[in-house]
Amino acid sequence: MFTRSRSMPVVFLLVILALVSCSSAGNATTTSAVTETPSSETQRLILATTTSTEDSGLLDFILPNFTDQYNAQVDVIAVGTGQALALGETGDADVLLVHAREREEAFVAEGHGTARYDVMDNDFVIIGPEDDPASVKGLEKAAEAFAQIASREQPFVSRGDDSGTHTKERAIWEAAGMTPEGGWYIAAGQGMGAVLNMSEELQAYTLSDRATFLARRAENLALVILLEGDPILFNPYGVIPVNPEKHPGVNAELAQQFVDWLLSVETQGLILTYEVNGERLFTPDSERWLAEQD
């Protein structure tokens, strides 16, 4: 089985983890997905991950394969990448699946994780209302689009939550040579799904990972992609087991089994086949998968 907790402040996540460990019934924020095998004890893995892997539906698609193979319960904590890394730094997660490469590499360099492994990639897109009042459509550079939105003071909704998407957004503002401020710039402090809802309500622009946007568009989101393809918008995902030498309480063995399973050709093939309305959401890129394609 796997359970999930949606984006929340870290302090509340830690309370939830404590409650989960004391009760096999879970709480109102968790759901069961796979029937446990009664012949052996169920293992438990805490996966801290970005909201995009859950909001896109990918975890629902691939995790039952892992839980069946390893008789495991996966407790999914879907938060921004910054919060996921913070959970790893305190040993309150066993493994991380996130998307802010420089921060992931720093996490490993500081000894919190054993290694970072490439898993998959997609890209970010700039989206907004179809009538495009900032005239972003037709531009080629994300930084130019951001500067134009700011100069025309068109509403822009930021994740504002230290997530991988927010990290990428800050990098684009830096490339534009700007610090966004003013009433037009709205820091939501929310996950990607909530930001897309807010952007639609306000007819605002935002930066989204492609996977979550496509999943929400299938649910009748009316915003459209206005800029894509700029190399700065590349979005790689990595998986990191938390270091048991620094955090002896983590389930290091199951975490490594999860990593090996996620990077396997079989699971990478599952990632490749995951689509919404005929559109692929992620491209697998583990070393094992790429070697198999040669």
- The answer on 217 and 93 residing in a single domain is no
- The answer on 248 and 139 residing in a single domain is no
- Burial (0-12, 13-18, 19+ Cβ within 10 Å), 201: exposed
Give the whole-angstrom CA distance, residue 199 versus residue 137.
17
| Residue where a domain terminates, one of 189, 208, 234 | 234
Higher pLDDT, 15 or 278: 278
How far, CA to CA in Å, does 58 sit from each of 7, 23, 64, 118, 141? Answer: 16, 27, 11, 16, 29
What are the pLDDT digits (tens) for 132-177?
A: 999 999 999 999 999 999 999 999 999 999 999 999 999 999 999 9
Per the CB < 8 A criterion, the answer to whether 46 and 57 are in contact is no
Residue 279 pLDDT more than 70? yes
Residue 31 pLDDT more than 80? no
- The answer on 115 and 12 residing in a single domain is yes
What are the pLDDT digits (tens) for 236-271?
A: 999 999 999 999 999 999 999 999 999 999 999 999
- The answer on 11 and 84 residing in a single domain is yes
pLDDT band at 294 (very low <50, low <70, confident <90, very high): confident
- The answer on 184 and 114 residing in a single domain is no
- The answer on 153 and 117 residing in a single domain is no
Residue ranges making up the domain that contains 163: 123-234
Give the whole-angstrom CA distance, residue 181 versus residue 183.
7
- The answer on 159 and 15 residing in a single domain is no
CATH of the domain at 150: 3.40.190.10
- The answer on 199 and 131 residing in a single domain is yes
pTM of the full structure = 0.82
| Residue where a domain terminates, one of 205, 234, 263 | 234
Residue 17 pLDDT more than 60? no
pLDDT band at 35 (very low <50, low <70, confident <90, very high): very low
Give the whole-angstrom CA distance, residue 136 versus residue 148.
7
Residue 184 pLDDT more than 60? yes
Q: What does the mean pLDDT of the chain come to?
A: 88
- The answer on 284 and 149 residing in a single domain is no
Per the CB < 8 A criterion, the answer to whether 158 and 186 are in contact is yes
